[in-house]
Structure 1
Amino acid sequence: MHRSPTAEAEVTDELAVVRPGLLPRYEAELPGARAAVLSRLWRGLAHDPLPWVTRREQGRDGLTLCLSDGRRLHGPRPDPYATGAYVTVVRLDEAEYDDPARLVTDLAVPHSASFAAELGHSVASLALSRAGQEGRATDAWPGSDWEWEQRIVDGHPFHPTCRSRPGFSVAEQLAYGPEHRPVVELGLVPVRAEECLVTGVWPRELRDGERVVLPVHPWQAAHVLKRVCEERRAGHPLMALRTLALPGGPHVKTSLSARLTSSVRDISLPSVAASAVLSEFAETPAAHTDGLLHVTRTLGAAAAGSPDFAAVLREPPEAYATGGERVLPVAALATTELPRSPAWLAGFARLALTVGLRLLELGVALEAHGQNLLVILSPAGDPLRLVYRDLADIRVSPARLARHGITVPGLPARMVTDDERTLRRKLFGSLVAGALAGTAGSGPALTEALRTAVRDLPRTPDLAALRADPLPTKALTLMRLSPQTAGDQWAELPNPLA
Structure 2
Amino acid sequence: MDVLAIGAPAEEATLAALLRCCVREVAGPRGLVWPAPPYVLLRVAGTLLRARTHGGAALRLDGPPERLESGSWQPLTVAELVRLTETDLSDLSDLSDLSGLSGLAGRQDEQARRGRGAGAERLLAEPNGEFAGQVAASRDAIAAILAARARAEPPADPWLASEQALVYGHPFHPTPKARDGADWLRYAPEAHAAFPLRLLAVRDDALAEEGDLTALDALGPAPAGHRLLPAHPWQLALLRPALGSELVDLGPGPLAVPTSSVRTVYVPDAEVCLKFSLDVRITNCVRKNAWYELAGAVELTSRLAPLIGEVAARHPAVRWLPEPGYRTALGQREGLGVIVRASPWTACDPGVTPALAAALALDAAPADPLAWWTAYVSAVALPVVDLYVSHGVVLEAHLQNVLVGLDAAGRPVQAIFRDLEGVKLVAGRHDLDGLHPAVAAALTHDPARGWARVVYCLFVNHLTEIAATLAGPDDELLRALWRAARDLLARQAAELGQPLPLRDLLAGAPLPAKANLRVRWARAADRSAGYVPIANPLA
- 1:48 aligned counterpart, secondary structure: helix
- Residue 447 of structure 1 deviates from its aligned partner by 4.2
Deviation readout 1:405-457 (Å, 9 max, x if unpaired)? x88884530331332x2122111111111121222236846543232023143
Q: 1:177 to 1:92 in 2, by over 3 A?
A: farther
Q: Which runs of structure 2 are paired with 1:107-118 in the superposition (5 Å)?
A: 107-108=86-87, 109=90, 110-118=126-134
Q: 1:183 to 1:192 in 2, by over 3 A?
A: same
- Residue 199 of structure 1 deviates from its aligned partner by 1.2
State the distance in 2 between where 1:237 and 1:66 align: 38
Tell me which of 167, 173, 193 is aligned to 2:204: 193
Tell me which of 363, 375, 390 is aligned to 1:347: 375
- 2:168 aligned counterpart, secondary structure: coil
Deviation readout 1:125-149 (Å, 9 max, x if unpaired)? 11222334449899xx954532331
Q: 1:241 to 1:101 in 2, by over 3 A?
A: farther
State the distance in 1 between where 2:160 and 2:406 align: 16
Whether 1:121 aligns to 2:132 is no
Tell me which of 415, 429, 435 is aligned to 1:386: 415
Q: 1:59 to 1:236 in 2, by over 3 A?
A: closer
State the distance in 2 between where 1:103 and 1:74 align: 10
What's 2:528 paired with? 487
Whether 1:463 aligns to 2:484 is no
Tell me which of 228, 232, 239 is aligned to 2:252: 232
What's 2:278 paired with? 256
Tell me which of 160, 165, 179 is aligned to 1:146: 160
| More off after superposition, 117-126 vs 157-166 | 157-166
What's 1:7 paired with? none
Amino acid at match of 2:252: R
Amino acid at match of 1:235: A
Instruction: Check whether the contact 1:429–1:473 (CA below 8 A) recurs between aligned residues.
Output: yes
State the distance in 1 between where 2:251 and 2:351 align: 36
- Residue 258 of structure 1 deviates from its aligned partner by 0.8
Tell me which of 451, 454, 462 is aligned to 2:486: 454
State the distance in 2 between where 1:199 and 1:273 align: 7
Deviation readout 1:222-254 (Å, 9 max, x if unpaired)? 123367955122211111111111123210111
What's 1:81 paired with? 57
Whether 1:32 aligns to 2:46 is no
What's 1:176 paired with? 187
Q: Alignment length, in residue pairs?
A: 461
State the distance in 2 between where 1:282 and 1:239 align: 24
Deviation readout 1:159-210 (Å, 9 max, x if unpaired)? 23222223244xx41x211122222122122222333321112232355433
What's 2:268 paired with? 247
State the distance in 1 between where 2:242 and 2:467 align: 45
- Residue 366 of structure 1 deviates from its aligned partner by 0.6
Q: CA RMSD in A?
A: 3.0
Instruction: Check whether the contact 2:19–2:81 (CA below 8 A) recurs between aligned residues.
Output: no
Q: 1:447 to 1:365 in 2, by over 3 A?
A: farther
Amino acid at match of 1:196: L
Q: Which runs of structure 2 are paired with 1:128-139 in the superposition (5 Å)?
A: 128-134=144-150
- Residue 78 of structure 1 deviates from its aligned partner by 6.3
What's 2:116 paired with? none
State the distance in 2 between where 1:64 and 1:56 align: 6
Instruction: Check whether the contact 2:264–2:273 (CA below 8 A) recurs between aligned residues.
Output: yes
TM-score by length of 2: 0.77
| More off after superposition, 82-91 vs 192-201 | 82-91
Instruction: Check whether the contact 2:366–2:372 (CA below 8 A) recurs between aligned residues.
Output: no
What's 1:16 paired with? none
Q: Which runs of structure 2 are paired with 1:84-483 in the superposition (5 Å)?
A: 84-86=60-62, 88-91=64-67, 98-105=76-83, 107-108=86-87, 109=90, 110-134=126-150, 143-169=157-183, 172-173=184-185, 175-203=186-214, 204-205=217-218, 207-225=222-240, 230-233=250-253, 234-249=255-270, 250-289=272-311, 290=313, 291-304=316-329, 305-333=332-360, 334-335=362-363, 338-339=366-367, 341-361=369-389, 362-399=391-428, 401=429, 410=435, 411-419=439-447, 421-441=448-468, 444=475, 447-456=479-488, 457-459=491-493, 460=498, 461-467=500-506, 468-483=508-523
Amino acid at match of 2:358: A
- Residue 55 of structure 1 deviates from its aligned partner by 4.6
- Residue 86 of structure 1 deviates from its aligned partner by 4.1
Q: 1:449 to 1:347 in 2, by over 3 A?
A: farther
Amino acid at match of 2:197: L
- Residue 219 of structure 1 deviates from its aligned partner by 1.6
- Residue 97 of structure 1 deviates from its aligned partner by 6.4
- 2:355 aligned counterpart, secondary structure: strand
Amino acid at match of 1:198: E
| Structure 1: gaps (5+ residues) | 1-21
- Residue 102 of structure 1 deviates from its aligned partner by 5.0
Instruction: Check whether the contact 2:145–2:167 (CA below 8 A) recurs between aligned residues.
Output: yes
| More off after superposition, 153-162 vs 105-114 | 105-114
- Residue 322 of structure 1 deviates from its aligned partner by 2.7
- 1:483 aligned counterpart, secondary structure: coil
Deviation readout 1:57-94 (Å, 9 max, x if unpaired)? 52635323364xxx335233766633645463343876
Instruction: Check whether the contact 2:387–2:393 (CA below 8 A) recurs between aligned residues.
Output: yes
Identical aligned residues as a percent? 24
Amino acid at match of 1:247: P
What's 1:17 paired with? none
State the distance in 1 between where 2:211 and 2:318 align: 22
State the distance in 2 between where 1:27 and 1:424 align: 45
State the distance in 2 between where 1:376 and 1:473 align: 27
Amino acid at match of 1:294: R
Q: 1:167 to 1:99 in 2, by over 3 A?
A: farther
State the distance in 2 between where 1:85 and 1:64 align: 14
Amino acid at match of 1:219: W
- 2:129 aligned counterpart, secondary structure: helix
| More off after superposition, 106-115 vs 310-319 | 106-115
- 1:214 aligned counterpart, secondary structure: strand
